[in-house]
Amino acid sequence: MLPNQQPISRFGFAVAKQVGNAVVRNRLKRRLREAIRQTAIRPGYDIVVIGRTPARESGYQELRTALIDLLRRGRLLAEEHASAVPGP
């Protein structure tokens, strides 16, 4: 993640060929995009999300939970979302 000095946050998704064939990689990227779309993110950042091999076997809820945890650790969750999502 890097600040981008813009009023929006932008996302890039990368999944290596080692994760699986094109169908598997695209499914993983679609799930990650949807998880981001349903999560309130602080504006003003460029964020790259890299899908690793273990994510291939994960369901949507597991991916979303892991993504929210990463965004929380990076302090990127918007205030209204940070208080609504349970966590440590």
Q: Per the domain annotation, does 49 fall within a domain?
A: yes
According to DSSP, the residues that pair with 5 across neighbouring strands are none
Q: Per the domain annotation, does 39 fall within a domain?
A: yes
Q: Per the domain annotation, does 38 fall within a domain?
A: yes
Q: Per the domain annotation, does 59 fall within a domain?
A: yes
Q: Per the domain annotation, does 88 fall within a domain?
A: no
Instruction: Specify whether the CB–CB gap between 8 and 45 falls below 8 A.
Output: no
pLDDT single digits (tens) 11-57: 999 999 999 999 999 999 999 999 999 999 999 999 999 999 999 99
**Domain count along the chain:** 1
| CATH code: domain of residue 57 | 3.30.230.10
pTM of the predicted model over 0.95: no
Range of the domain at 76: 2-80
Q: d(Cα 45, Cα 83) in Å, to the nearest integer?
A: 20
Q: Per the domain annotation, does 51 fall within a domain?
A: yes
Q: Per the domain annotation, does 86 fall within a domain?
A: no
Secondary structure element (H or E) that encloses residue 63, with its range: helix 60-73
